[in-house]
Amino acid sequence: MSSWKPRKDSAEILNFAMAKIKSVPYKVSNRWVFYRVVQAGFATKAQIKIFDYLLSRARKSFYDEWKPDTLTDSIRHADFIGEFAAAFNIELDSIRDQPYYCQLWFEAEAMHEQFEHYTRDYRVSLIPFRGDCSIPIKWQLAKKLEGIYEKYAKPIQVLYFGDYDKKGLAILDAALKDIKVWCKVPFSVERIGLTLEQAKEFGLPANPDRPNSFQWEAVEDTDAKKLILDSLSKYQLPLSNGLQEREKTIKAKVRTAILEVLNSELETELE
């Protein structure tokens, strides 16, 4: 364990950053925290590399409440397999009773937990692009929309969230250029944000890497929540209590059945 201690001004930044992290019910990225620090006047946009080093040092040193897993890294992950595992997930059809079939596409994979948290009562598909959408994902999306339309005959609505910059504005257009050719059923797309008007309204700091551009991670949580839920609620109804209760009942029955099988197998091994 390192005995590293930050300077007084750095400690103030770390304490402020930790308070911001604790203020939201999901994990956030390094960039998300950086924008909060800039907006509070603790740092300038040009100091992002210094800020990255400070947060890295704090996590590696286990300073105060900081740990290596304090921030999310949704882009890279590890899969650990080989040990015993018994898991199941029961989800009944939640599309049938909806007025629309809706998907949320977004540019920033690092904010997946934010979208997951605020849409969990609606159970909509979340599609992170991770920058330019790959050819396999675009093909998969086109075929998925076709299958949904053929099965449910419902209008399809896609809501898109991305950065306001030259690249961010081009990502959706580039993806749709292929998806619309490959998808043989109608669907609508609405770009929810970011817009230049929203960036001005929210008082967002510009992207330190690209002047006059703004990132989704810079949006304060309350504003992001409102953009997500206001747009989604136009097309989707929250999951009904009846559906959730039926799922709980089925899960309980399945859990009991699984335990009976496992106990029976264990007794056989011990004979």
CB 212 within 8 A of CB 206: yes
CB 162 within 8 A of CB 172: yes
Query: What Å distances lie between residue 252 and 184, 225, 230, 260, CA to CA?
Result: 41, 33, 34, 12
CA–CA distance, 148 with 119 (Å, rounded to integer):
20
Kindly report which listed range (64-78, 107-121, 149-163) carries the lowest average pLDDT score: 64-78
Kindly report which listed range (53-57, 77-81, 129-133, 158-162) carries the lowest average pLDDT score: 77-81
Q: Does the pLDDT value for residue 27 go beyond 80?
A: yes
Tell me the Cα Rg of the chain.
Answer: 22
Q: Which residue has the higher pLDDT, 103 or 168?
A: 103
**Mean pLDDT, residues 146-168:** 95
**Mean pLDDT, residues 100-116:** 91
Q: Does the pLDDT value for residue 81 go beyond 80?
A: no
CA–CA distance, 202 with 36 (Å, rounded to integer):
12
CA–CA distance, 154 with 167 (Å, rounded to integer):
32
Backbone angles phi, psi at 156, to 5 degrees: -110, 130
Q: What is the pLDDT of residue 79?
A: 63
- Residue 156 pairs with which residues in a beta bridge? 101
Q: What is the pLDDT of residue 31?
A: 87
Stated pTM of the model: 0.82
Q: What is the pLDDT of residue 206?
A: 85
Q: What is the pLDDT of residue 74?
A: 59
CA–CA distance, 136 with 155 (Å, rounded to integer):
24
Q: What is the pLDDT of residue 56?
A: 93
Q: Which residue has the higher pLDDT, 101 or 88?
A: 101
Residue 89: other Cβ atoms inside 10 A: 7
Token digits of residue 175? 């993806």
Q: What is the pLDDT of residue 2?
A: 61
* Amino acid identity, position 159: L
pLDDT over 70 percentage in the chain: 93
Residues 181-230 have pLDDT tens digits of: 999 999 999 999 999 999 999 999 887 777 788 999 999 999 999 999 99
**Mean pLDDT, residues 100-108:** 93
CA–CA distance, 33 with 52 (Å, rounded to integer):
10
CA–CA distance, 199 with 206 (Å, rounded to integer):
9
CB 1 within 8 A of CB 60: no
Q: What is the pLDDT of residue 259?
A: 86
CB 13 within 8 A of CB 37: yes
Number of H helices, E strands in the chain: 9, 4
Q: What is the mean pLDDT of the chain?
A: 90
- State the burial class of residue 135 (Cβ atoms within 10 Å of its Cβ: 0-12, 13-18, 19+): exposed
